[in-house]
Amino acid sequence: MTLSSLVSRSLVLSLAAIVLLPLHLHAQVVDQVTATSTAPPGVPFVRVPLLDGMRTVSGAQGPGAKPASIEVMVTLVATTLPRPASDTAPVYVQRAVTKSIGDDGSFDITFSTPLVAGQYVVVCARGADDKATAAGCHQPLPVEAADDWGRVRAYFAGGVVLSKQRADFSQQDMTLSFTLDKTWWMDAPTGRLAPRAFNSFFDVRLTSVPVGLGTTTTTTPSGGATPTTTVEQFTNSQKAAVVQAGFYLPLFSEDMTWVHGGQKNAVFLAPVFKAGVITAGGSDAVTTTTNTGGGGSSVTTSAGNASGVYKFIAFGFGVGHETLTASTDSAPTIMSYLHVTVGKWENFPGSDWRIAAEGRLKVPTTPFQVGFDANVPYRGGGLADLRFTLGARVDIGTLLAKIKLLGG
């Protein structure tokens, strides 16, 4: 069985798991959302867990006098100190007040914007003066990812690849990929630029890749004249399976973070190392001899790789954008990245040092993704390649979460 067929079956099994796993987890989620947090007398509590994507927060007043109103605040930090309604400090992402409190103390508050994993929810009882005090507030409760895998993120992407070898970018090849990103160590950002995590990744792709080919023609003129040799090289685009692994070390400071859409983001710099194997269609070397007349001849040899297996290894630097979580026990989500590396790729003749650039950008608030891949010689002339990718990418954990929320 070829590596390409093995990769194909792995991707099919991954898709099957994405579809079937929510059916197994659905009953667990239904049971979870009926739980409640505990609170001391006179302090309201809310139903837990609070999940990413929720808009409505439900709860009830604890034992004691019924308050005039209940205020629910969504914050970026675990604070229990309520602030005046006129406070515009960015610590509060959303806040809402309700006076619709049932006889049993129950209440529901619906926000205009869904909750985001990494935020906190603080619920407070307000008196007749419409003010809340720290004593009347529940401890901050974190908003959790509905399918939090801890320090692991898994992405599935699909789309098309455009390259010059395919009719000058006018035709396309299909591409599918599965990426597993593991955060082994994580630290919260501070005021100085420093390593904040150590990540490894494993990536499997069914795509098209450039394969450098060459022909050598030796022409022997009649009459015993000196033969001449001509070497031609060209790049062919071939369907292939690519398996690669590597690691990167994100570096950023607090000054390189910002808040957008109620979630903390960061831009990071990172040294990058990657290595892998490409398996494409193999071809044997072919030699053709042509009689040119008068005793002359022309011999053309086309280089080939019978196995169709090419290795590569590269190292360099990258820059990226990720959305952070409130806990160092939950991995961030990569939104975009650019890797510029130097290495050797056997799918180009000679396997000399080359420079590669790989970039991906996920369009905000959509599943769409665009990107490019380039590979050029480190110095001098030689074969080069540029191709663009258009498609969509989903976080498998987020997809499972949305399916479960819809089912629940």
Which CATH number covers residue 65? Answer: 2.60.40
Distance CA 210, CA 386 (A): 9
Classify 365 in phi/psi space as left (phi over 0), alpha (psi -120 to 50) or beta: left
Q: Work out the pLDDT band at 81, boundaries 50, 70, 90.
A: low
Q: Could you tell me if 208 and 297 lie in one domain?
A: yes
Residue 234: pLDDT band by 50, 70, 90 thresholds? Answer: low
The widest CA-to-CA distance across the chain, in whole angstroms, is 115
CA distance linking residue 169 with residue 248, whole number of Å: 32
- pLDDT value of position 21: 39
Calculate mean pLDDT across residues 44-50.
Answer: 87
Query: Which carries the bigger pLDDT value, residue 289 or residue 354?
Result: 354
Say how many domains are in the chain.
2
Does residue 273 lie within any of the structural domains? yes
Cα–Cα distance between 237 and 235 in angstroms, integer? 7
327 secondary structure, DSSP code: S
> Do 27 and 229 contact (CB within 8 A), yes or no?
no
CA atoms 60, 64, 68, 74: torsion sign: negative
What pLDDT does 34 receive? 36
Within-domain flag for 23: no
Residue 252 CB coordination number (10 Å): 22
Same domain (yes/no): 84, 120: yes
Please check whether residue 21 lies inside any domain of the structure.
Answer: no
Say if residue 302 is in the same domain as residue 171.
yes
pLDDT classification of 150: cutoffs 50, 70, 90: confident
Q: For the chain, how far is it from start to end, CA to CA, in angstroms?
A: 42
Q: Percentage of residues in the chain with pLDDT exceeding 90?
A: 40
Evaluate if residue 260 carries a pLDDT over 90.
no
Confidence band, pLDDT 50/70/90 cuts, at residue 128: confident
Round to whole Å and give the CA distance between 350 and 17. Answer: 42
Instruction: Judge whether 361 lies within some domain.
Output: yes
| 269 or 112, which is more confident | 269
Specify the pLDDT at position 250: 97
* Residue 53 in tokens: 């994507």
- pLDDT at position 246: 98
Q: Are residues 132 and 232 in the same domain?
A: no
In terms of domains, do 346 and 228 share one? Answer: yes
Torsions phi, psi for 227 (to 5 deg): -65, 150
Strands 263-280 and 45-48: unpaired
**pTM score, two decimals?**
0.70
CA distance 300 to 288: 5
Residue positions counted in the chain: 408
Most confident by average pLDDT, 21-30, 223-232, 334-343: 334-343
Assigned domain for 317 exists: yes
Residue 24, pLDDT > 50, answer no
Residues 187 and 249 in one domain: yes
Reply yes or no on whether the pLDDT at 379 is more than 90: no
Q: What pLDDT digit, counting tens, does each position of 212-225 carry? A: 776 666 666 766 66
Q: How far apart are CA 120 and CA 257, in angstroms?
A: 19
Average pLDDT over residues 312-333: 91
Q: Is residue 26 part of a domain?
A: no
* Same-domain pairing of 184 and 111: no
Of 84, 109, 144, the position where a domain reaches its end is 144
Q: Does 122 share its domain with 205? A: no
CA–CA separation, 89 and 109 (whole Å): 22
pLDDT tops 50 at residue 27:
no
Confidence of residue 403 (pLDDT cuts 50, 70, 90): confident
Among 95-99, 199-203, 205-209, 297-301, name the one with the lowest average pLDDT: 297-301
Same domain, 65 and 119: yes
List the domain range (segments joined by +) for residue 277. Answer: 3-16+151-407
User: For 86-111, how does the pLDDT look when each residue is reduced to its tens digit (9 = 90+)?
Assistant: 444 456 788 899 999 988 889 999 99
Structure confidence at residue 365 (pLDDT): 84
Write the Ramachandran bin of 350: left for phi over 0, alpha for psi from -120 to 50, otherwise beta: left
pLDDT value at residue 79: 66
Examine the domain organization and report whether 293 and 392 are in the same domain.
Answer: yes
Rama region for 224: left / alpha / beta (φ>0; ψ in -120 to 50; rest): left
Domain boundary among 102, 117, 144: 144
Nearest CA to 166 out of 236, 257, 227 is that of 236
Task: Decide if pLDDT at 13 tops 50.
Answer: no
The pLDDT value given to residue 361: 97
* Mean pLDDT value of segment 13-35: 40
Query: Same domain, yes or no, for 166 and 124?
Result: no
Asked which of 144, 179, 212 is the last residue of a domain, the reply is 144
Q: Is there a single domain that holds both residue 274 and residue 295?
A: yes
Judged against a pLDDT cut of 60, whether residue 66 lies above it is answered with: yes
